Amino acid sequence: MDKKSKIYIAGHRGMVGSAIWRQLEQEGYKNLIGATSKELDLRQQQAVSDFFKAEKPDVVIDAAARVGGILANSTYPYQFLMENLQIQNNLIESSLAGNVEKFVFLGSSCIYPKLAPQPLKEEYLLTGSLEPTNEAYALAKIAGIKACQAIRQQFGKDYVSLMPTNLYGTHDNFDLATSHVLPAMIRKFHDAKLSNHATVTLWGTGAPLREFLFVDDMAASVIFALENKLPEHLYNVGTGEDLTIKALAELIQQIVGHKGQIQWDSGKPDGTPRKLMDVSKMHNLGWKHQVELKEGIQRTYQWFLDNRQNIKEIKI
């Protein structure tokens, strides 16, 4: 891909979008554009259409979405379904209308059936029922995948969907009401450490298995997709390795330096028993993650410490 190509990163201020922006700049891509949510409401079809007509991007990366953990997904299913559909539909439609040749759509491993065989292969999509706690978000993302697949098939454009496993890293969301499990644990253990190493209560039993990918590795996979014409429309992006939530909690506790007790609230939902990604397709094409979990958590916690005063609480 030409280093002068005009690349629009939707959601460029978020954890994933900002990581993609940084890596593109490091790779020599200078013609990058973005718009904050105040400048452009991606839920508004006309506003998005006008933005595309004015900017005329060559490449679009959709890293914009309404995201959250089990609590947020369970409490606000309508917003998670409708807003994500609006955002991605507007971006995809305007890209097609504007003759954008390359589009990278980012989703989530929650698109796969709750009880699908492990590890999760791309072909398991739509073979069973979804996990109820994040069904709304998953349905929206599945619609986006299918839209990109249809454009690829019908119009011959290079529209590809990348499905990351659980992402974490610098610029993450540490708000306890809306964050995902790993940053929420960092926040809880840190706050408890400051409160004389108070007991930390965590949701569920700690038994589920989860896979985690550092956000810089996700950004690298996006650049890999931009610089190569991938032969299929859907790819998993992850490490291919997982651990129990209990083991994750103990690792984070150690890195943060919390010396208190961990209490598990088994009355709260565990979510899907396991979500390990089969990443063999991306590996076979030449992409592989570089940052291992312990290093990634250390880097994330250090960023949290360095930016603690500037981290805003995210309210719904």
Q: Known binder of ligand: residue 12? A: yes
Our answer to whether residue 137 is catalytic in this structure is yes
Q: Known binder of ligand: residue 14? A: yes
Q: Known binder of ligand: residue 271? A: no
Q: Known binder of ligand: residue 294? A: no
Q: Known binder of ligand: residue 85? A: no
Closest by CA to 108, choosing from 243, 313, 272, is 272
Q: Known binder of ligand: residue 199? A: no
Q: Known binder of ligand: residue 166? A: yes
CA angle 25-292-159, nearest 5°?
A: 50
Q: Known binder of ligand: residue 11? A: yes
Q: Known binder of ligand: residue 188? A: yes
Determine which helix (DSSP H) or strand (DSSP E) holds 92, and give its type and residue range.
helix 77-97
User: Which single residue is written with the structure tokens 């499905």?
Assistant: 163
Q: Known binder of ligand: residue 282? A: no
| Active-site residue identified among 112, 137, 168, 235 | 137
What torsion do the CA atoms of 232, 118, 274, 79 make, to the nearest 10 degrees?
30
Q: Known binder of ligand: residue 165? A: yes
Q: How far is CA 98 from CA 29, 90, 145, 173, 245, in A?
A: 21, 12, 19, 33, 44
The tokens describing 249, both together, are 């909690």
Q: Known binder of ligand: residue 13? A: yes
Q: Known binder of ligand: residue 269? A: no
Q: How far apart are CA 297 and CA 253, in angstroms?
A: 11
* Sequence-ordered list of residues with C-beta below 8 angstroms from that of 51, at least 6 positions apart, any chain: 35, 40, 94
Q: Known binder of ligand: residue 71? A: no
Contact 110, 138 (CB under 8 A): yes
Q: Give the dihedral sign, CA 241/247/251/252.
A: positive
CA atoms within 13 A of residue 293's CA, in its CB half-sphere: 20
Q: Known binder of ligand: residue 34? A: no
Q: Known binder of ligand: residue 203? A: yes
Q: Known binder of ligand: residue 74? A: no
Contact 299, 170 (CB under 8 A): yes
Give, as one character, the DSSP assignment of residue 308.
G
Contact 111, 145 (CB under 8 A): yes
* Sequence-ordered list of residues with C-beta below 8 angstroms from that of 231, at least 6 positions apart, any chain: none
Q: Known binder of ligand: residue 41? A: no
**Known binding-site residue numbers for substrate:** 188, 203, 210, 270
Which positions are catalytic? Answer: 137
**Known binding-site residue numbers:** 11-17, 106-109, 141, 164-167, 180, 188, 203, 210, 270
**Known binding-site residue numbers for NADP(+):** 11-17, 106-109, 141, 164-167, 180
